[in-house]
Each structure stands twice: as C-alpha cells, then as structure tokens.
Amino acid sequence: MSIRLATSADAAAIAALLNTLIADRDGTALNVSVSSDEEADYLRRLQQGGLCLLAEEIDVPLGFQSVEKLGPELGEIGTFIRQESRGLGVGRLLLEETRRWAQGKGITTLLAAVAAHNERGQRAYRAWGFTEASAGLLETLGHAPDSVLLEFRTD
C-alpha cells in the first residue's frame, strides 16, 4: 500500500469511493452523491491550507483522509476507507502521515466530528488517540447535537 497527496486528477476515483458510502449512509452526513467536478473543486480548495491523502494499492484507491483548516493551529479531519479495506490499519497509517504534515504546518489540534450513531467511526478515532474535545473547543466551534467532537494533539 502507498500513501500520496491526492490532486484534482483523483477526483473521479475519490467521488466513486465516497458515493458508495453515501448510498449506504455509511459514515457520512452527505445524502446526495457528489460529481467528479464537485470533488475536483473540493480538492482544489483543500490545496489552499488543507490536505487530502489517498491510500492505494497498485492504483486501486483504498481510502482517503482530508483536513480542512479551521484556524492557524486547528484542522478538521475526515477519513473514508472503502468497505473491503477496513480494520486493516489503513486509517491509522493515513493519520501517521497526516500528523507529520500537520506538525510541519503548525497545526496542533485535529478535530473530528463523528455522528453520534457512528460507533465504528468513534471507536476507530479513539483507538488512534483522539479524545473528547475540550470544553474550550466546543465553545469556540459549537456543534450539532447529533455528533460527537473528538480532538487529537499532533505534538
């Protein structure tokens, strides 16, 4: 398996992966499928201060992890692994790379907003070292009552 920066050229592959999860209501709040063009726009926006890493096995995308910058030292993370490749540590490996990138950018805290009913998502993030977001963060950001906010210190 290899991990590399995703670019807008990966938009179709990432949209296809995401659309499978959207159709299955599997770990995403999105309920309408995304087009390749929309995904390409999103990836271009992420390039301005954020990150999208793609894990792949001989050109087959296994999953991706993105970070949107919320503030100088704060980013919001999302992780989407295709169903056949879960429980193999792909998400954890992506987080190791994301953490290195965040340290280089001075991002000290990664925030994950996980749906309250998404137990697998919460379990995975907690297994990777995320903990309940501090009261200060909750106050600054506010959050939907049906989601759980978890934070991860990158240092």
The binding site for ligand COA (CB under 6 A) comprises 21, 26-27, 78-81, 86-92, 114, 118, 120-121, 123-124, 127
Residue 120, amino acid: R
Shortest spacing between CB 119 and ligand COA, in angstroms: 9
Closest distance of CB 19 from ligand COA, Å: 13
DSSP 38-56: HHHHHHHHHTTT-EEEEEE
Residue 50 or 91: the one with the smaller Cβ distance to ligand COA is: 91
Nearest distance in Å: CB 90, ligand COA:
4
79 or 109: CB nearest ligand COA: 79
Task: Report how far residue 131's alpha carbon sits from residue 149's, in angstroms, rounded to the nearest whole number.
Answer: 9
Structure tokens at 131: 């903990």
Contact 59, 96 (CB under 8 A): no
Structure tokens at 42: 């999103």
Q: Which is nearer to ligand COA, 106 or 145 (CB)?
A: 145
